[in-house]
C-alpha cells in the first residue's frame, strides 16, 4: 500500500494504480475522455490532467502511476483552465452539428462540455478532415466528428487483431481510417462494429436502416415480420434508463407490435433450429471420423457473421471446418419466406423480414450473395431503441407481451446463444442427450468450464455409455473449446492450421464475450455491464421450463410438417450455406 | 551524355526489385520494431513506396496495411510518389525563413514547375522543404542530395540547378 495526498485528503491505495484509478477509489472523479479502463489507456486527449506537486507540467492521470508521497490537485485553477483550453481546441476542429447528430444526448464529448463548464468557444480555425465513408452495409465513418482519441484503433488492432483502421498521416492531417484510397469494404474488415461501441462521438456508427424499416411498415402491400436476437432483450432496457442486466423481453415484444410489425417472431426459435441442424452435423462428422471416413474436425460454429468474414480473409483454406449452418436469423428469414408464407398463404415476395440484432456484421451478412433475400433489413439494438422513442412509445410503462407463434417459441438453450459459451452449451444439451439418452451431467445443465469471460475456454466430456444407435461414440472423450474476440479466435484457428488442434467442436463469437457485447449493443459496454447482461441471459434460460432445443414442440412440428429430417434436402436448401475464400484486401481467391 | 544520367535503378526489372524486397523482409520478419527499417530499405530498392508495394510488405510481414501506411504517411522521409534523380531540400527553419527561405521555395516552384513534394516531369528533381538542417549560420540554406548550398540567392538558382542538368 502507498500513501498519497489528493486535494488535501490523505489516501491509501494499492501500488500500481494510476492517479485516475486511485482517486476514483476514494470518490474523487477526474474528468476524462479517451480513457477506457483496461482497454485504451494512452493519455492521448490529456483531458484528465492533474497537478502533481514537484512536476513542472500537468500530468495525464490515466497513465501516471500513483506514487508514495505524491501531492496531487485534481481541480486547481490551473487544472480547470487547462482542461477548458484542451477541450476548446478539440472542438475547434470538430463538426458541431450536434442537433442533427446521431449521438445527440449520448455523446461523451457533449457530456464533457457540461462537466467542464464550457461556456465559450474561443478558437475558430481551419477544419482538418471531412472524409465520410458509407459505402459498406455496416459501418459509417464521418471523420469531421472524429476527435482522434484512437479508441477504435485499439479495438480493431489489439482487441480484435484485425487492423483495418489506424492513424494515417501526421499532425493536422491525421486521419483515423484504412489506408488512403481504400474503404473498409476493400479490406479485411469483419464489420464487427466494436469500433462503433467505443467511439465517444458520432464519427463511427452503424449504417442506418431505420428509414428502410419505417418505409416497409408504412407499405400496405408488405407483410413485415420482425425477429429479435437473444442478446437484445438483455440490453435494450439500458437505452430506456433501466439498470444493466434488466430483462425486457415482454416490453420489447409489446413495443415491436406497437411499432406496427405484422408478426413478432423470435430469433431464438431459429437458435433452437440451429442446434438441431448443427448438432446433427457434428454427430455426422464424428460418426464419419470414427468410422474411418473423411470428415473435417474440429467443426466450428457459424452463427457469428463477423467471425465468418474473419476466417474467410485470414484462413481461407480452413473453411471446411465451419458448420454449414446459416446464422439463426437467416434461418428464421428463410423459414418465414417458405414454411410460414405457405402456411398463411402469402406470397414470399410480399414479406419484409427485419432482424433486431446486437450486431453490425449482420447488416453485411444479409447482403451476401449466398443467402440474399432471406432477411431484408437489420436493426441494431440501438436503432430499435431509437425507433421506439421516435414512435412515442412509453417503453417503461408498456405491459408485457409475448412473441407470436409458431416462430416465437424457444427453449432456454436458445437464450444462452447471446453469451460466450452459450451455443456450445446449447448444442451439448441436445447432442449429449441424443447420444446417451440422458441429460447433460452438469448442475442446472450449465457447462461450468465454458462459462465466464475468459477469452479461450475448454472442456472435456467423456461419453461412458450410449443408446444403441450411437455405440460408435462409447468411450469417446469429446474435446470442446470456446473463444470470443477475434484475437482469441485466431489462436484456435492457428492450431487447426498447424494441425495441432486437439478439439472436436469449437464455438467462436466475433465480439469479446459474445453477442452481449456486440457491435450494435447500447453504449457503453464495460466489464461490469457485460457481466450483468450475461447474468440476465442465464436468468432467462433458468426461468424457462423448456431448456433444450430438441424439446421445443414447434421445432418438432416444423420437421414433421415441412423440413422432413435434419440435414435433409429441404434443410440444405433453406438452412445451410457456403463460404467464400477471400484475401486480405477482400479479393476473391 | 543524357544516357549516363539515367537512373540506374530503372535497369532493374520489377521482378528483381520484388525479389530484393523479399530478401530484406525475410531478414527482418518477426523482429519487433523493424517496420521502419524495412520501409527505409525497400524505398532504397524501389525508389518510393506506392500502395502496391506497401501491400506487398504488409502481407509478407503479416501486418495490417493500415499500420504500414500509417508509418509511411507519418514520416516525411517516406514517399508514395516516384522520386526524382535529385532531391532538393529548402530549409524553412527559423533562421532560413527569416532570411528568405520562402522566396527560394517560390522561385524553385516557378523554375521547376512543381509543387512542394512533387517531382519534375523529366524525373530530375523532387522539391522538398524541411525545418532546420542545422546550418543556421549559412542561412538561407538549401541542399541538393547531400550537398548544402549556403546563402542562396533566389535569382541565382538556375546556376545551381544547371550543375545537375
A78 has catalytic annotation: no
Between chains, do B66 and A166 touch, taking CB under 8 Å as contact?
Answer: yes
The answer to whether A198 and A158 are in contact (CB under 8 A) is no
What pLDDT is attached to residue B5? 45
A585 touching B, CB under 8 A?
yes
- For residues A461 and A433, the answer to whether their CB atoms sit within 8 Å is no
Q: Are strands A71-73 and A132-133 parallel, antiparallel or unpaired?
A: unpaired
Q: Which of A162, A166, A187 sits opposite B70 (nearest CB)?
A: A166
Instruction: Give the mean pLDDT of chain B.
Output: 90
Q: What is the pLDDT of residue B76?
A: 85
- To the nearest whole Å, the CA of A152 is away from the closest chain B CA by 13
CA A36 from chain centre, in angstroms, equals 18
End-to-end CA distance of chain B: 10
What pLDDT is recorded for position B4?
A: 41
Put simply, the answer to whether A168 touches B64 (Cβ < 8 Å) is no
Domains of chain A plus CATH, in order, are: 2-116 (3.10.20.740), 132-206 (3.30.70.20), 217-268+330-397 (3.40.50.1780), 277-326+409-525+533-575 (3.40.950.10)
Which residue stretches of A437-526 are H helix? 486-497
pLDDT at res. B165: 79
Successive 10-residue mean pLDDT values, chain A, 589 residues: 95 95 95 94 95 96 97 97 96 94 96 96 89 93 96 97 96 94 94 98 97 98 98 98 98 98 98 98 97 95 98 97 98 98 97 98 97 94 98 97 96 98 98 96 96 97 96 96 97 97 98 98 96 98 97 97 97 97 91
Whole-complex ipTM: 0.92
Strands of B86-91's sheet in order across: B125-130, B86-91, B142-144, B147-149
Nearest to A179 among B69, B74, B75 (CB): B69
Q: What values do phi and psi take at A72, rounded to 5?
A: -120, 140
- What is the nearest CA distance from A179 to chain B, expressed in angstroms? 5
CA–CA gap between residue A246 and residue A241 (Å, rounded): 10
Specify burial of residue A66 (Cβ count, 10 A radius: 0-12, 13-18, 19+): buried
* Whole-number Å distance between alpha carbons of A392 and B105: 63
- The number of CA neighbours under 13 Å toward the Cβ of A135 is 11
Q: Find the residue in B nearest to A165 (Cα).
A: B66
Query: What's chain A's length in residues?
Result: 589
Contact B67 A168 (CB under 8 A): no
Residue B1: pLDDT over 80 = no
User: In A, which residues are within 8 Å of B55 by CB distance?
Assistant: 585
Give the model's pLDDT for residue B12. Answer: 82
Preferred mutation among A141, A153, A163 to probe B, highest tally of B CBs within 10 A: A163
Residue B117, by phi and psi: left (phi above 0), alpha (psi -120 to 50) or beta? left
Task: Find chain A residues with C-beta within 8 A of B68's C-beta.
Answer: 179
Q: Rounded CA gap, B19 and A491, in Å?
A: 31
**What is the rounded CA–CA span in Å between residue B147 and residue B155?**
19
Residue B92 pLDDT greater than 70, yes or no = yes
Q: How many CB atoms lie within 10 A of CB A188?
A: 21
Grouping H, G, I as helix, E, B as strand and the rest as coil, residue A4 is: strand
Instruction: Report whether pLDDT(B6) > 70.
Output: no
Q: Is A323 a catalytic residue?
A: yes
Of B59, B73, B74, the CB nearest to A584: B59
Question: What is the SS3 assignment for A385-437?
Answer: HHHHHHCCCCHHHCCCCCCCCCCCCCCHHHHHHHCCCHHHHHHHHHHHHHHHC
In the CATH scheme, what architecture does the domain B86-162 have?
A: 3-Layer(aba) Sandwich (3.40)
Cβ within 8 Å, pair B66-A180: no
The pLDDT of residue B10 is above 60: no
Cβ-defined contact of A585 to B54 (cutoff 8 Å): no
d(CA A244, CA A222): 35
Active site residue A303: yes
Q: What size, in residues, is chain B? A: 165
φ/ψ (deg, to 5) at A508: -130, 130
Give me the residues paired with residue A380 across strands: A357
Q: Report the residue of chain A nearest B69, measured CA to CA.
A: A179
Amino acid at each position: 500500500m502507498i500513501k498519497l495526498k489528493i486535494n488535501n485528503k490523505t489516501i491509501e491505495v494499492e501500488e500500481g494504480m494510476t492517479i485516475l484509478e486511485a482517486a476514483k477509489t476514494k470518490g474523487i472523479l477526474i474528468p476524462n475522455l479517451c480513457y477506457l479502463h483496461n482497454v485504451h489507456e494512452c493519455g492521448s486527449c490529456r483531458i484528465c490532467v492533474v497537478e502533481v506537486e514537484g512536476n513542472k507540467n500537468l500530468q495525464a492521470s490515466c497513465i501516471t502511476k500513483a506514487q508514495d508521497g505524491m501531492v496531487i490537485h485534481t481541480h486547481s485553477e490551473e487544472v480547470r483552465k487547462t482542461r477548458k483550453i484542451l477541450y476548446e481546441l478539440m472542438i475547434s476542429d470538430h463538426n458541431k452539428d450536434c442537433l442533427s447528430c446521431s449521438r445527440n444526448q449520448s455523446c461523451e464529448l457533449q457530456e464533457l462540455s457540461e462537466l467542464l463548464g464550457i461556456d465559450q468557444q474561443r478558437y475558430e480555425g481551419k477544419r482538418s478532415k471531412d472524409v465520410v465513408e458509407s459505402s459498406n452495409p455496416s459501418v459509417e465513418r464521418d471523420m469531421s466528428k472524429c476527435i482522434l482519441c484512437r479508441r477504435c484503433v485499439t479495438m480493431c488492432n489489439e482487441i480484435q487483431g484485425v487492423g483495418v483502421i489506424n492513424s494515417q498521416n501526421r499532425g493536422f492531417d491525421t486521419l483515423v481510417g484504412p489506408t488512403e484510397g481504400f474503404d473498409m469494404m476493400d479490406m479485411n474488415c469483419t464489420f464487427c462494429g466494436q469500433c462503433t461501441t467505443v467511439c465517444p462521438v458520432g464519427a463511427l456508427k452503424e449504417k442506418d436502416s431505420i428509414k428502410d424499416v419505417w418505409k416497409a411498415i408504412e407499405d400496405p402491400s408488405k407483410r413485415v415480420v420482425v425477429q429479435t436476437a437473444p442478446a437484445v432483450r438483455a440490453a435494450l432496457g439500458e437505452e430506456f434508463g433501466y439498470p444493466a442486466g434488466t430483462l425486457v423481453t415482454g416490453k420489447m415484444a409489446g413495443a415491436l407490435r406497437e411499432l406496427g410489425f405484422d408478426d413478432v417472431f423470435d430469433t431464438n426459435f431459429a437458435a433452437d433450429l440451429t442446434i438441431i441442424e448443427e448438432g446433427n452435423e457434428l454427430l455426422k462428422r464424428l460418426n464419419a471420423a470414427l468410422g474411418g471416413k473423411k470428415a473435417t474436425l474440429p467443426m466450428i460454429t457459424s452463427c457469428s457473421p463477423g467471425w465468418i468474414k474473419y476466417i474467410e480473409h485470414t484462413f481461407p483454406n480452413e473453411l471446411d471446418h465451419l458448420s454449414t449452418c446459416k446464422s439463426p436469423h437467416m434461418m428464421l428469414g428463410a423459414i418465414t419466406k417458405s414454411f410460414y408464407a405457405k402456411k398463411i398463404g402469402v406470397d414470399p415476395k410480399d414479406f419484409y423480414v427485419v432482424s433486431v440484432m446486437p450486431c453490425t456484421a449482420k447488416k453485411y451478412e444479409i447482403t451476401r450473395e449466398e443467402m440474399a433475400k432471406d432477411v431484408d433489413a437489420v436493426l441494431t439494438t440501438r436503432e430499435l431503441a431509437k425507433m421506439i422513442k421516435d414512435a412515442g412509445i412509453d417503453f417503461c410503462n408498456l405491459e408485457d407481451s409475448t412473441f407470436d407463434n409458431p416462430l416465437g417459441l424457444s427453449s432456454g438453450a436458445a437464450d444462452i446463444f447471446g453469451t460466450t459459451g452459450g451455443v456450445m452449451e446449447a448444442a451439448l444439451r441436445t447432442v449429449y442427450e441424443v447420444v446417451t439418452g440422458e441429460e447433460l451431467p452438469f448442475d442446472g445443465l450449465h457447462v461450468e468450464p465454458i462459462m465466464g469471460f475468459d477469452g479461450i475456454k475448454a472442456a472435456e466430456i467423456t461419453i461412458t455409455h450410449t443408446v444403441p444407435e450411437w455405440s460408435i461414440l462409447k468411450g469417446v472423450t469429446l474435446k470442446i473449446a470456446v473463444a470470443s474476440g477475434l484475437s482469441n479466435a485466431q489462436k484456435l484457428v492457428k492450431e487447426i492450421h498447424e494441425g495441432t488442434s486437439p478439439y472436436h467442436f469449437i464455438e467462436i463469437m466475433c465480439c469479446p464475450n459474445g453477442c452481449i457485447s456486440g457491435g450494435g449493443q447500447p453504449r457503453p459496454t464495460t466489464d461490469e455491464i457485460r457481466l450483468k447482461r450475461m447474468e440476465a441471459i442465464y436468468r432467462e434460460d433458468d426461468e424457462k421450463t423448456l431448456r433444450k432445443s430438441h424439446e421445443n414442440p414447434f421445432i418438432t412440428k416444423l420437421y414433421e410438417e415441412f423440413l422432413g429430417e435434419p440435414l435433409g434436402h429441404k434443410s440444405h436448401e433453406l438452412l445451410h450455406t457456403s463460404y467464400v475464400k477471400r484475401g486480405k484486401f477482400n479479393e476473391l481467391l | 551524355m543524357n544516357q549516363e544520367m539515367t537512373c540506374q535503378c530503372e535497369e532493374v526489372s520489377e521482378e528483381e526489385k520484388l525479389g530484393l524486397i523479399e530478401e530484406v523482409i525475410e531478414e527482418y520478419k518477426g523482429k519487433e520494431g523493424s517496420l521502419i527499417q524495412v520501409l527505409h530499405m525497400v524505398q532504397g530498392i524501389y525508389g518510393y513506396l506506392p500502395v502496391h508495394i506497401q501491400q506487398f510488405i504488409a502481407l509478407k510481414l503479416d501486418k495490417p496495411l493500415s499500420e504500414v501506411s500509417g508509418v509511411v504517411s507519418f514520416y516525411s522521409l517516406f514517399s508514395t510518389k516516384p522520386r526524382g534523380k535529385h532531391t532538393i531540400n529548402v530549409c524553412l527553419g527559423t533562421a532560413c525563413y527569416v532570411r528568405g527561405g520562402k522566396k527560394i521555395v517560390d522561385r524553385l516552384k516557378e523554375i521547376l514547375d512543381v509543387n512542394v513534394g512533387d517531382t519534375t516531369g523529366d524525373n530530375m528533381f523532387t522539391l522538398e522543404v524541411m525545418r532546420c538542417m542545422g546550418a543556421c549560420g549559412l542561412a538561407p540554406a538549401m541542399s541538393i542530395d547531400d550537398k548544402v548550398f549556403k546563402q542562396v540567392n533566389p535569382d541565382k538558382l538556375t546556376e545551381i540547378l544547371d550543375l545537375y542538368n
